[in-house]
Amino acid sequence: MTDLPTPIIVDNMLLVVFVDGGVSALLPALAGGSIFLSPSILDPHESTDAGREGVSEFVRGMQRYRRLGDPGSLTFLERREAFCQRPSRLWAPAEPTQAEQNLAQHLRQRETRETARRKDPGLRGARIDPGEAECAALAISRGWCLWSDDSGIVPLLRALYPAAVVERSCALVARAINEGLLNYVAGRSLYEEVFKAELNLRSRTQLRWDGQQAICELVL
């Protein structure tokens, strides 16, 4: 019997670079099925109509693009609107339980970050947004894999929840190359020129070819 893939919960920072970068279809392809999104990231019941105040992080970004109105922003807006369409094979909602909501609040507390710093003195005290905390709480509680590039939640999980599985954008693009979903030239361009240069993904990780496969290398 073939094992079912581990469910994937995706936070906003990682989600938007794939959607705005025009490669949202890579997400379910790499996940082996629909990705999951929490309501703080994208609520399926939330209206995306112009004139309504956004609640979720993804929709608030759409409204910012509407206000800007330049050609690039309108292209990103079109891609987000297409992604939001329901029913979707790209994503499915994941509603947190009360216990998971409590855990998300715990992850955002100063005391939690201080506990993490005692375990890892080099930990930076980046602020953790509600959506990222909610996604992390779901991953911890359910044993799901978290896809995130957030500079606050990823180090916190490494310090306090080392068993939690986290994948970042570079690792996902490298895997897409190694699994034949992208060729190396297209994949490296996507990560270095689109994600990092165009969409301002802050990352010290560089995608390169080691002679046999695509790998991610930290640039100090």
d(CA 212, CA 219): 20
pLDDT by residue, tens only, the chain of 220 residues: 457 789 999 999 999 999 999 999 999 999 999 999 999 999 988 887 766 677 899 999 999 999 999 999 999 999 999 998 865 788 999 999 999 999 999 999 999 999 999 999 888 767 899 999 999 999 999 999 999 999 999 999 999 999 999 999 999 999 999 999 999 999 999 999 999 999 999 999 999 999 999 999 998 7
pLDDT at residue 51, as a whole number: 67
SS (H, E, C) 83-104: HHCCCCCCEEECCCCHHHHHHH
d(CA 205, CA 197): 13
The b-or-e profile of 101-122 (16+ CB within 10 A means b, else e) is: bebbeebbeeebbeebbeeeee
> Is-contact 116 159, C-beta < 8 A?
yes
Query: Tokens 């292209």 appear where?
Result: 75
Residue ranges and CATH numbers for the domains of the chain are 1-167 (3.40.50.1010), 183-218 (no CATH)
